[in-house]
Amino acid sequence: MTGGTVTGSWSYGGRSGVPGVRWWAVGVIVALTVVSPLAHGDGGSAAPTSPAAPTSPAAPTSWEEASRLAEERSWDANANVNAALAAAAEERLGMAVLYLERAQRLRPLDRSAREALHLVREQVRRQRVQAFPNDRLTQGEPAAVWWWRLFGVFPQRFHALAALVLVWLACGLWWYRSRMPGSLRRDTVAVSSVGLALLAVVALVFWGGALFTHSRYEPVVVTAAAPRYHEAPDRLARRGRDPDLYEGAVVVVRGRERGWVQVELADRDLVWVPEQSVAAIGAF
C-alpha cells in the first residue's frame, strides 16, 4: 500500500480491518433480518391487512353488541374501550378491567384508556372492601404480572425491528468511521457507533425477555362475580372465598385440567377456579 491507496481487500487509508469482526457483524444482521418477521409468532393478535376494515367503529348501543364487536375486533383498541364502558355501565367490572387491559396493551401511550382503567379499579377496590370488610387485603398483583408488563409494553416484533435497525446503523457508522480522515470526527462517530450497539443489545434483551415471559406467564382477569376457589379441580372439592380472588383481579395461570385452571393470587397462594370464571388478557 502506497500513499493511502487501497492495495488489500480489508485495508482503508493505511488502516487494516478485521475480517472476522466484519463477517460476524454481517452474520448478526442476516440472522436478525431472517428472524424478525417471526418475532410475533406467539399467537398474539395483529390487525388484519384488509383495507376494507374500519379503524374506529361507532359506539355500540348495548353490552352484548359491544362485547361481540370487541371479540371480533380484538386488535382494535377503540372496540375494546367501548366494550369496557358498556361493561362498566352494566356493573360488569371484571369484563371492564379485561377490555381496558387489552386496550392499554394495544395502545400503551393512550392516556384515556389508562385513566378509565384507574377509575374502574377504584370501583373494584370499593367493591372488594365491601365484600371483605374484616379481612386483610393484599395490594397489587402477582410478581409474574409485573415482569409480563415490563417486557410487554411494546410488541415483540418492535424489539426485533429495533435491534435490527440499531445493528445496521452501528455497523454503518463504524464503516463510515474507517473512511474519515480527521481523528476527532472519527472518535465522535466511533462513540456514536458503540452507543447504538449498546442500544441494540438492550433491544435484544427486551426481545428475549418478552419471548420468555409471554411463553411462561399467562395473566388472566377474574370476570366472575363473587368467585369461589376450589382446593382441587373438582366441583365436589372443598371451596371457599379468598379476599385476593375477586371480580376484576389480575392473576396468573399456573396449570390447567379438564375445564379448571390453577391460578396464582397476589399473596402467592395457588387455587383452582372454573375456566369460565377467568379470561385471558392476551399478548402481542
The C-alpha cell 481523528 sits at: 183
- Among 148, 131, 278, smallest CA distance to 214 is for 148
Q: Which three cell numbers stand for residue 78?
A: 377503540
Output the pLDDT for position 62. 81
Q: Which amino acid is at 58?
A: A
Output the pLDDT for position 259. 92
Count Cβ atoms within 10 A of the Cβ of residue 120 and give its class: 0-12 exposed, 13-18 middle, 19 or more buried. Answer: buried
Output the pLDDT for position 282. 79
Output the pLDDT for position 249. 94
Output the pLDDT for position 24. 56
What does the H/E/C string look like for the chain? Answer: CCCCCCCCCCEECCEECCHHHHHHHHHHHHHHHHHHHHCCCCCCCCCCCCCCCCCCCCCCCCHHHHHHHHHHCCCCHHHHHHHHHHHHHCCCHHHHHHHHHHHHHHCCCCHHHHHHHHHHHHHHHHHHHHHCCCCCCCCCCCHHHHHHHHCCCCCHHHHHHHHHHHHHHHHHHHHHHCCCCCHHHHHHHHHHHHHHHHHHHHHHHHHHHHHHHHHHCCEEEECCCCCCEECCCCCCCCEECCCCCCCCCEEEEEEEECCEEEEECCCCCEEEEEHHHEEECCCC
pTM assigned to the model: 0.69
What are phi and psi for residue 107, nearest 5 degrees? -135, 85
pLDDT in tens, the chain (284 residues): 444 444 444 433 344 444 444 555 556 555 655 555 444 444 444 444 333 333 444 555 588 898 888 888 888 889 999 999 999 999 999 999 999 999 988 888 888 888 999 999 999 999 999 988 888 888 888 888 888 888 877 777 888 888 889 999 988 888 888 887 767 778 888 888 899 999 999 998 988 888 888 778 889 999 999 899 999 999 899 999 999 999 999 999 999 999 999 999 998 899 999 999 999 997 55
Adjacent-strand bridge partners of 261: 256, 273
